[in-house]
Structure 1
Amino acid sequence: MGVSGSGKSTIARMLAIELHVPFVEADDLHPTENKDRMRQGLPLDDEHRRPWLRTVAEHLQVAAIEQGTAVAACSALKRAHRDVLREVIPSVFFVYLAGRQDEIAERISDRKHEFMPASLLGSQFDALEAPGDDEEHLKVSISPAPAQIVFEIVAHLSSRFGRTPHGALSDSDHAGLRRTV
């Protein structure tokens, strides 16, 4: 979870590959109305997000049922947004990709997104509610290289859940990954 440009899609794809589990790209599930609104530079409000988040949760649930777990790239900026996901998947675990607004603004100035203009970044930071202590999550800085971020997430998940997640690298593989970062 995190604002646009925080690396959600990159990190989630890499994590899904690492864990050998399905990947759900929440941006692909936005209805046309939401995409059109963002293309016009208009931020989404909770009424626009709620049905989309429900769809994301349902896709994630199906993927998790098929494979035991799944990874999604989804903004989930507010607690209320994460609550929608938790309604469908009570055991959902969030990875909060945290970065400074200027750092992320620089990142997104160099990319083209299908429907999310850089001008909406400020509204995303305005809406952002970091996960509370009572929410199952891991906060990760976006500053390290993506492979190092994935390594940190996998290490945390292994420690947190008392086992290596399904399909994750062994400890010796982790050492190799660390050396390549």
Structure 2
Amino acid sequence: MGVTGCGKTEVGRALAARLGARFIEGDSLHPPENIAKMSAGVPLTDEDRAGWLEKIAAEIAASTAAGERTVAGCSALKRRYRDRLRAKNPRLVFVHLVIDRETAHRRVAARRGHFMPSSLVDSQFAALEPPGPDEAALPLDGTRPVDELVSEAAAVLAEA
């Protein structure tokens, strides 16, 4: 989880490979209306995200029910979004890739072929509610090398 540009997809794919898990790319589950809004530089509302979060929660639940370990990349910026995901998946652990605004702007501006423009970075930070101490979450510095992030997350998840 984390703001756009924090490395959710890259770290998530690498973590899934390390764990022998299925990777679910949350961005691929956005409906066309959400993609059109974001592409136009319009931030999503809670209502826009509701169905998308349900799809992600359902994908995780189906994968888990099939006996697969699962890693999903999803912004999950607000507590209520994480609660919605946890409602179907109570054992869910969030890896929060923490980056600063400048890094997010730089990464998103350099990215090609993605619908999220750098003009939406500030709205992501405005919406972000970092996980509280009562949430199953691991905050990691998203500016560290991917292999270090994956090693640390895998070690913590092995203990969970």
How would you bin the TM-score normalised by the shorter chain? over 0.9
Whole-angstrom distance in 2 between the partners of 1:141 and 1:73: 16
Q: Assess if the C-alpha contact under 8 Å between 1:22 and 1:71 holds in 2.
A: yes
| Higher alpha-carbon deviation: 97-106 or 119-128 | 97-106
Whole-angstrom distance in 2 between the partners of 1:121 and 1:54: 23
Whole-angstrom distance in 2 between the partners of 1:23 and 1:130: 23
Moved over 2 A (4+): none
Whole-angstrom distance in 2 between the partners of 1:108 and 1:93: 25
Whole-angstrom distance in 2 between the partners of 1:100 and 1:82: 21
Does 1:19 pair with 2:22?
Answer: no
Deviation of 1:152 after TM superposition, in Å, equals: 0.8
Aligned residue number for residue 150 of structure 1: 150
Deviation of 1:77 after TM superposition, in Å, equals: 0.3
Which amino acid letter does the alignment assign opposite residue 131 of structure 1? P
Aligned residue number for residue 97 of structure 2: 97
Higher relative contact order, structure no. (Cα contacts within 8 Å, ≥ 6 residues apart): 2
Q: Assess if the C-alpha contact under 8 Å between 1:98 and 1:139 holds in 2.
A: yes
List gaps (5 residues or longer) in structure 2: none
Whole-angstrom distance in 2 between the partners of 1:21 and 1:69: 5
Which amino acid letter does the alignment assign opposite residue 153 of structure 2? I
Q: Assess if the C-alpha contact under 8 Å between 2:77 and 2:127 holds in 1.
A: yes
Whole-angstrom distance in 1 between the partners of 2:23 and 2:11: 11
Whole-angstrom distance in 2 between the partners of 1:109 and 1:100: 14
TM-score (norm 2): 0.96
List gaps (5 residues or longer) in structure 1: 162-181
Whole-angstrom distance in 1 between the partners of 2:105 and 2:142: 13
Does 1:84 pair with 2:81?
Answer: no
Cα-Cα RMSD: 1.0
Q: Which has the larger radius of gyration?
A: 1
Deviation of 1:103 after TM superposition, in Å, equals: 1.4
Whole-angstrom distance in 2 between the partners of 1:15 and 1:87: 23
User: How many pairs are equivalent?
Assistant: 160
Whole-angstrom distance in 2 between the partners of 1:72 and 1:96: 12
Aligned residue number for residue 4 of structure 1: 4
SS of equivalent to 2:72: strand
Aligned residue number for residue 45 of structure 2: 45
Deviation of 1:143 after TM superposition, in Å, equals: 1.7
Aligned residue number for residue 64 of structure 1: 64
Does 1:128 pair with 2:128?
Answer: yes
